[in-house]
Structure formats: C-alpha cells, structure tokens
C-alpha cells in the first residue's frame, strides 16, 4: 500500500459514503445481492451488506492490483522465497495440489515427496483403524492424543470437531497443547494407556510446551506399561526427523514435512495425521481436494470475482479507511466452534506485523483482532455490543444449507437466526420505527420518550455471509483455504511478511531465562520491580 495516494483515495470514498446507509442502498438497487455476491469452490459469498458501492469496489480492486497481488500470487506459486526473513518458500498449496504438473521448490519437484508422505499416512491410518497396528499388549487403539501447539494443534483440533459426523465412536481424538499440566492430566485421566496412541506434532520438535507434554506422556506409558511399550504408543510429525528419532519414535512412525510449510499453514501436511485417523484417510483426502478447489479459484478467477480477494479488500477497506479494529467470525455451525480460534492464529500470527518488507514502520493499520463464537450462542452473549455498542465490528456469518442430522425444526431456526442477524445489523431500527412499535404496545408518551434511545439500533453495520451446501470435508477444506488466501492478499496490500512470527520469540526467551528463578535456583535480581514482586509472591506461596 503506497501510503499517500492509496489511503487518500480510500478516505475520499469513505467520506462520500459517510452519510449513505446500506438501508438506502438496498432500497435504491433491487439487484444489490446479485451485484455483490460471488461463488467459488461451492461457496456463496454474499457481500452486499457492506458499506460499498461500485466505485468503492473498483478502487479496492485497483489497490489490490497496484499492490501486486497477482504478481505476488505467482511468485508464491513459483516457489520464490516470499518469506524473506526466514528465507523460505511458502508452498502449502503444494500439499493439496491435485494436478499432475511438477511443483518445484528450490529447483526440486516436491510432489513425489508430498505424495509419499500422504501414502505413508494412508497406510498407517488404515492399519490403526483396522486394528492391524495395536498397542504394546495387543489391544486395539481407542484413543489418539495429539500433542502439539499453535499450528501443530489448532488446525487438526478444529477440523476433527468440524468433521464429527465422519468420526467413529470407538476411535476418539484428543488434543493436548497447553504446558499447564492440567491439560494433559485431565485428558489422560479418562484414558487407558494400553489403548492410547500419542502423536507428537511439532514442526521444529523443540517447542517447549510440546516437548514437556510429550515427556509426561512418555513417562505415563513407561510407568504403566513399561519402557519397552513406548515405541508402540508413539508416532511423530515433524520437519526435524533426527529429533523425533532421538525421542525414541520408530522410524516408520515418523511423518515428515518441510520448512516451506508454515506452522499455521500445516494442517494439510502430516500435521493432519490425527484428522486422518479420526475421520479416515479418504475424508482427509477430500479435505485436501476442497482446498485445492479453492486454490484453483484463487489462482484463476478475476480479482472482481475472487472470493478471497473480495474478502481481503473489504477487510482493508474497514481497517484502513474506517478504522475498525476487530473482525468477528460467527459460524452458525456448532461444529465450527474452534474455527475462530484457528483463524486467530492464521490471521493474527500472519498479519500482526508493523514493519514493511523492507523493515520500515508501516504507516497504516495492519491485521485486525479476529474473534468469534458460533451462533446462536453468541447472540445471547456479545451480540449486544455488535448491534448497539460504540465500535463497529465487521462480521462473517457462515452457514450450511443442509445439516448432517435430521432434526427439524433445528436447522430452519438456525438459518432464520443467521439471516435475521445480518439483516438486523444492516437495517438497524430507526427512531420512527421504535416509537411506532412502542405506541402499538400502548405505552405512555413519557415512557416512549424514555425508552426510545435505548431501543434504537444504528444499523449500517457490515457483514458477509458465506453459504455452502453442507459442512463436508471438501467444503471445510475450501473454507480454510479461502481464509488463507484472504490473509495472503491482505499481507500483500499491507506490504508485510505474512509468513514469519518473530513476535512470539521474546516471551519464549524471557520464560527460558525466568525458569531457574521460578524454580528457586537463581535469584530474581535484575528484573523490574513488578516481575520481582510477582516472583517473590510465587516463591512464598508455591
Ligand atoms: O507460536 C509460534 C509457533 O512457531 C507457531 O507458528 C507454530 O505453529 C507453533 O509455534 C508450534 O511450533 P512447532 O510446530 O514447531 O512446535
């Protein structure tokens, strides 16, 4: 984004629309939905309930073109090291590529390796699910515990929940991520070690939380079944194969991936192993196919019809021209209850940056705070603020046309609610409407005057609605890839590196330095008074 001209142009459009409401725009234009909706990879995006008109959208697409979104997209596909600070290619699309062309990274076609790992996952998954591979004492596995954090946890955990209808009751997946011992303790207390398989998932295989949990799991198996049982109860997923072997994982149970896959983009890699175990390899393959369908849409559709690009430029519009700082993701799908948490890492770890590619301070706002919970639960919690609070929060609503279960009238009610929310946010409720309503209830003039301001809704609050036929593995793959490409596009427009995450390092470094002091092995001197005070409290009370 070139600070002066691009921002100025957006601000001019914003001023022009300051006094125009969507309510008026819908009244004037009966084709607004047709004009501002698009489809790709089986997903319908209705973006008509946004503060936009044709000129705004043209300016936003011009901005994306001028920022080089198309060129950057090509560079990413060609394996250029667009992750400049880590000097790496960004090739997660290769993990789900369904075509037969070579995909070169650093001069080597990566597809044979990608397919070999997928084959190994398929074989291992089938062998666990059929009972061919069993625990040390010969019992069939009933519980899989994935130990990982960040990208090595959030993706598989979110997908396993989302694809619950495809899981088997006799093979359950659990996820342990937090270094808080409560997490592993509470998961293991219900499990039988003889029937439990652990997957240690870590790109680096050095992440402290994961290694601490992995060691506790290892002790649990060794203490209950004997040291010799360990190799039969562990598998690993990592780019660091020697470290996996050192931990004691059998060579044929180590599933690799590569440094051109970022942690938060790794759900398509062997990091998806617990998904394949939980829902079967064929369904995992369909998840990859759905993502590939969205990739093809992203790579080929003109920017004006391109779902990820449309969502990206709308996000830029709100962030940079209107100053809206948060973005809510509100799936009307209970099984997408971890979707917002997953997107928090995908979006905020990618675009939570404040220097440009050349290391200068950005002169504009970058990634928003992403948050959300499934509807209708959110309606009874935080929607009050979305409707009547002082902040405007652009929302994405997600909803399937068909539920997995036949439980009328649940789904019709769910759909009525999601449609009502976006309509209510857009329309609001005017003073005249409130007064009419209160008069009809027979309230006194004085009471009407008192209540009216409380019952008015400002409206003109923006939202997208993503509609899809059913939450299948394919649809979920397409949805996740849609958001990945949205984040990519925004990163290009903001001229930042969406693929590094230096911001998590400082806390890690300080925690390492503090550990011996927390353990009481070193004095806490030299820290600020707050840290020293908290340390003293801990040591006195532990
Ligand atoms: O939070 C930082 C981070 O590096 C994430 O990007 C990554 O997903 C997570 O830690 C876990 O890393 P690893 O898979 O190497 O254990």
What's the gap in Å between 151 CA and the centre of ligand 1?
6
Give 318-344 pLDDT, tens digit per residue. 999 999 999 999 999 999 999 999 999
DSSP codes of every residue in 121-168: HHHHHHHHHHTSS--TTSPPP-EEEEE--GGGTHHHHHHHHHTGGGSB
| Predicted pLDDT at 7 | 83
Q: How far apart are CA 257 and CA 2, in angstroms?
A: 37
The predicted complex's ipTM stands at: 0.97
What's the gap in Å between 121 CA and the centre of ligand 1?
22
Would you say 197 and 135 are in contact if contact means Cβ atoms under 8 Å apart?
yes
Q: Hey, which of 501, 502, 511 would you mutate to test ligand 1's pocket, going by the most ligand atoms within 8 Å of its Cβ?
A: 501
| Predicted pLDDT at 2 | 57
**202: closest CA among 269, 142, 284?**
269
Q: Is the pLDDT of residue 107 over 60?
A: yes
| Predicted pLDDT at 3 | 55
The residue nearest atom 16 of ligand 1, judged by CA position, is 202
Sorting pLDDT into bands at 50, 70 and 90, what band is 527?
very high
**What mean pLDDT comes out for the span 368-395?**
98
| Ligand 1 atom closest to 238 (CA) | 14
163 backbone dihedrals φ, ψ, rounded to 5°: -100, 30
Q: Which residues are catalytic?
A: 349, 380, 508
Distances from the Cα of 257 to the Cα of 91, 111, 270, 329, angstroms: 11, 12, 6, 30
Distances from the Cα of 26 to the Cα of 21, 36, 55, angstroms: 9, 11, 16
Distance of CA 34 to the CA centre of its chain: 28
Q: Is the pLDDT of residue 15 over 80?
A: yes
Give 65-98 pLDDT, tens digit per residue. 999 999 999 999 999 999 999 999 999 999 999 9
0.95 exceeded by the pTM?
Answer: yes
Count of beta carbons in the 10 Å neighbourhood of residue 479: 25
Give 466-502 pLDDT, tens digit per residue. 999 999 999 999 999 999 999 999 999 999 999 999 9
| Ligand 1 atom closest to 271 (CA) | 14
Give 134-181 pLDDT, tens digit per residue. 999 999 999 999 999 999 999 999 999 999 999 999 999 999 999 999
Give 191-234 pLDDT, tens digit per residue. 999 999 999 999 999 999 999 999 999 999 999 999 999 999 99
Q: How many CA atoms lie within 13 A of 539 on its CB side?
A: 17
| Ligand 1 atom closest to 201 (CA) | 14
The residue nearest atom 8 of ligand 1, judged by CA position, is 151
Beta pairing partners, 406: none
| Predicted pLDDT at 225 | 98
Q: How far apart are CA 528 and CA 530, in angstroms?
A: 6
In which residue are the tokens 């995992």 written? 284
In which residue are the tokens 């997953």 written? 342
Give 178-199 pLDDT, tens digit per residue. 999 999 999 999 999 999 999 9
Q: How far apart are CA 370 and CA 373, in angstroms?
A: 11
Q: How far apart are CA 243 and CA 205, in angstroms?
A: 6
Sorting pLDDT into bands at 50, 70 and 90, what band is 314?
very high
Would you say 292 and 98 are in contact if contact means Cβ atoms under 8 Å apart?
yes
What's the gap in Å between 70 CA and the centre of ligand 1?
29
What's the gap in Å between 429 CA and the centre of ligand 1?
46
What's the mean pLDDT when you consider all of the chain? 97
**265: closest CA among 484, 73, 494, 505?**
484
Sorting pLDDT into bands at 50, 70 and 90, what band is 6?
confident
In which residue are the tokens 């948050």 written? 371
Give 409-462 pLDDT, tens digit per residue. 999 999 999 999 999 999 999 999 999 999 999 999 999 999 999 999 999 999
Which residues does a 6 A CB cutoff place in the pocket of ligand 1? Answer: 149-152, 202-204, 207, 210, 263-264, 349, 501, 504
| Ligand 1 atom closest to 204 (CA) | 15
């Amino acid at each position: 984004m070139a600070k002066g001209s691009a921002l100025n142009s957006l601000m001019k459009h914003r001023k022009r629309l300051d006094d125009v409401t969507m309510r008026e725009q819908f009244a004037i234009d009966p084709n607004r939905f047709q004009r501002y909706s698009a489809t790709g990879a089986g997903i319908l995006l209705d973006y008509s309930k946004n503060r936009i008109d044709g000129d705004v959208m043209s300016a936003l697409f011009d901005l994306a073109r001028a920022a080089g979104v198309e060129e950057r997209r090509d560079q990413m596909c060609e394996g250029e090291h667009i992750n400049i600070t880590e000097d790496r290619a960004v090739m997660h699309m290769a993990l789900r590529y369904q075509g037969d062309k070579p995909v070169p990274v650093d001069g080597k076609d990566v597809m044979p390796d990608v397919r070999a790992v997928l084959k190994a996952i398929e074989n291992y998954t089938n062998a666990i699910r059929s009972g061919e591979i069993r625990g040390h004492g010969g019992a069939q596995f009933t519980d899989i515990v994935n130990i990982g954090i960040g990208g090595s946890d959030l993706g598989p955990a979110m997908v396993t929940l989302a694809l619950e209808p495809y899981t088997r009751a006799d093979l359950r997946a659990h996820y342990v991520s937090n270094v808080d011992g409560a997490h592993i303790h509470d998961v293991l207390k219900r499990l039988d070690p003889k029937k439990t398989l652990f997957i240690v998932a870590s790109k680096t295989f050095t992440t402290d939380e994961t290694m601490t949990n992995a060691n506790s799991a290892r002790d649990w198996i060794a203490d209950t079944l004997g040291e010799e049982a360990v190799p039969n109860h562990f598998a690993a997923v990592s780019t660091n194969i020697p470290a996996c072997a050192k931990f004691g994982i059998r060579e044929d149970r180590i599933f690799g991936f590569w440094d051109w896959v970022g942690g938060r983009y790794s759900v398509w890699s062997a990091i998806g192993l617990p998904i394949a175990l939980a829902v079967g390899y064929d369904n995992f393959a369909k998840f990859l196919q759905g993502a590939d369908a969205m990739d093809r849409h992203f790579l080929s559709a003109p920017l004006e019809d391109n779902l990820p690009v449309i969502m990206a430029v709308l996000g830029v519009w709100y962030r940079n021209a209107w100053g809206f700082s948060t973005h809510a993701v509100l799936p009307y799908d209970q099984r997408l209850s971890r979707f917002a948490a997953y997107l928090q890492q995908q979006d905020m770890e990618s675009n939570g940056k404040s220097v440009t590619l050349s290391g200068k301070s950005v002169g504009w706002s970058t990634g928003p705070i992403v948050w959300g919970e499934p509807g209708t639960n959110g309606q009874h919690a935080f929607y009050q603020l979305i409707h009547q609070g002082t902040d405007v929060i652009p929302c994405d609503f997600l909803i399937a046309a068909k539920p997995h279960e036949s439980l009328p009238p649940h789904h019709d009610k769910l759909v009525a609610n999601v449609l009502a929310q976006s309509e209510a946010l857009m329309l609001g409720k005017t003073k005249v409407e409130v007064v009419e309503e209160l008069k009809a209830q027979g309230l006194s003039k004085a009471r009407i005057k008192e209540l009216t301001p409380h019952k008015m809704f400002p409206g003109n609050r923006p939202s997208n609605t993503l509609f899809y036929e059913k939450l299948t593995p394919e649809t979920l793959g397409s949805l996740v890839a849609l958001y990945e490409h949205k984040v990519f596009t925004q990163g290009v427009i903001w001229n930042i590196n969406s693929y590094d995450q230096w911001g998590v390092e400082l806390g890690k470094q300080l925690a390492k330095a503090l550990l011996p002091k927390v353990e009481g092995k070193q004095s806490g001197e030299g820290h600020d008074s707050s840290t020293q005070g908290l340390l003293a409290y801990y040591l006195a009370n532990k």
